[in-house]
Each structure stands twice: as structure tokens, then as C-alpha cells.
Structure 1
Amino acid sequence: MESQWIFNLLLTLQFVIMIALVVWLFRTSKKLKKMKKVFEEAELNQKKQVQVLASGSIGMGRRLVTIEKKLNLAVEKQSEILSKEGSVSYNRAMELLEMGATIDDLVSKCGLIRAEAELINLLKKESRRNSDYH
């Protein structure tokens, strides 16, 4: 009889432990589902942020390419303008030399530096010599 009593006690104890274990597993499962949901929401938010950053970067890259093209065009136009202005100044200097202008006249009237004016004067003299020999 006493063994029957011990057996019933063990059986009851086993049943209580099984119920406690099921309750613990159920609670743990609910916590895991909540954590999974939180992690999925965080992952979704991070994906959205990455998409926003990526689209912003792409837009910024396109703007930079456009600005770079405009800058290159502006540099080319500036170079063209400077070369045209330079040739006009040099042509004007040659005309002034033919009319008897001095190096100081070239500096003041054509906006040349002294070295440029002297070089143009030398070139003009050299071209006269070459034309005299031919």
C-alpha cells in the first residue's frame, strides 16, 4: 500500500512538473514571438533607412555628375575666351608695333606683362628680318 502511495505521489509530481514545463514553454514561446516581431520591425526600419540613403546617394551622384559637366563646360568656355582675348591683345600689340609703339605702350594699352611685350617686339623684329632676306 505504501508503494502505491509513493507511486501516486510520483505520478502526481510528474504531472505537476509536466504542467509547469508546458506553461514555461508557452510563456517562452510568446516571448520569442514578441522578440521576433521586434527584430523584424527593426530589420524593416533598417531596410527602409538603407533605401533612403541609397536613393539619396544616387541622387547626389547624379547632381555631382551634372555639376561636373557644367564646370567642365565653363572651364572650356573660359579657356576659349582667354585665348581669344589673348590673341586679340597680341594682334593689337603687333599693330601698335607696326605703328611705332614702344614696349611700355604695349604694356599699358594691351594689358600685357613686360616680358610678353618684349617677346612680341623680338618676334616682330625677327619677322621683319626674315621678310627682308626673302
Structure 2
Amino acid sequence: MESQWLFNLLLVLQFVMLLVLVTWAFRMSKRIKQLKVQQMEAGVDHKKQVQVLASGSIGMGRRLVAIEKKLNLAVEKQSEILSKEGSVSYNRAMELLEMGATIDDLVSKCGLIRAEAELISLLKKESRKNSDYH
């Protein structure tokens, strides 16, 4: 009798354990499905973000190319203007420096800004030093 009772108790315990395991497995399965859905949603969100960033980068790249073209044109025009107008005033400034003109003379007579006149004066002095050594 006692062994029958012990056997029934073990049987009930096994059944309870089986129910606990089935319940736990069911919950884990449900949690795994939730995580998969969340992962898929996150993947879709990341894909959308990448697409937005990519289209933004493309737009920015196009703008940069347009700005670079404008900048190159501006630099070319500036170089043309300086070569046409600047060389005459720079040549005139060099001639005046050879005749003993001051920086203020260069500013007033050649239309240079003070920094340009000082730079030309320094360059002229350096070229004199170099020619004196050779």
C-alpha cells in the first residue's frame, strides 16, 4: 500500500513537473516570437534610417559639387581679374619701390591695400638680399 502511495506521489510530481516545463516552454516560445517581431521592426526602422541618410548624403554631395563648381569659377574669375589688373599695379609698385617709394606711396599711387604694399615691399627687400649674395 505504501509503495502504491509513493508511486502515485511520484506520478503526480512528474505530472506537475511536466506542466511546469510545458508552461515554461510555452512562455519562452511566446517571448521568442515577441523578440523576433521586435527585431524585424528594428531592422525595418534601421533600413528606413539608412535610406534617409543615404538620400541626405546624395543631396549634400550634389550641393557640394555645385558649390565647388561655383567656387572654382569664382577663383578663376578672381585670377583673371588679378592677372589683368593686379599685374599692372604690382609691376608699377615694384618700379616705384626701385625709385625709393614708401609703402604709403604704393597704397596711394597703385591702389593697393596696405597689406599688399607691405608684402611687395618685403618681397623686393628679399630679392635685393638674394641678388646681393649672388
Asked if TM exceeds 0.5, the reply is yes
Give the equivalent residue in structure 2 for 1:51.
51
Counting only pairs closer than 5 Å after superposition, residues 6-21 of structure 1 correspond to structure 2 as: 6-21=6-21
Name the aligned partner's letter for residue 77 of structure 1.
K
1:35 aligns with 2:15: no
How far apart are 1:39 and its partner, in Å? 2.2
Provide the rounded CA distance (Å) in 1 between the counterparts of 2:41 and 2:49: 12
Q: Give the TM-score normalised by structure 1.
A: 0.61
Partner Cα separation in structure 1 for residue 69 and residue 89 of structure 2? 30
**SS of match in other structure, 1:21:** helix
Question: What residue in structure 1 maps to residue 81 of structure 2?
Answer: 81
| Root-mean-square deviation over aligned CA pairs | 3.2
Matches of 1:41 and 1:79, distance apart in 2: 56
Q: Deviations over 1:58-93 (max 9, x none)?
A: 221221122111111111012112322346769xx8
Number of positions where the alignment pairs a residue of Structure 1 with one of Structure 2? 106
What are the within-5 Å matches in structure 2 for residues 54-73 of structure 1? 54-73=54-73
- Alignment partner, residue 4 of structure 1: 4
* 1:32 Cα offset (Å): 1.8
Cα separation, 1, equivalents of 2:27 and 2:73: 69
Q: Which has the larger radius of gyration?
A: 1
Partner Cα distance (2:42, 2:89) in 1: 68
Gaps of 5+ in 1: 94-102, 117-134
Where does 1:110-129 land on structure 2 (aligned, <5 Å)?
111=111
Distance of 1:13 and 1:111 partners within structure 2: 106
TM, length-normalised to structure 2: 0.61
Is the deviation greater in 66-75 or in 76-85? 76-85
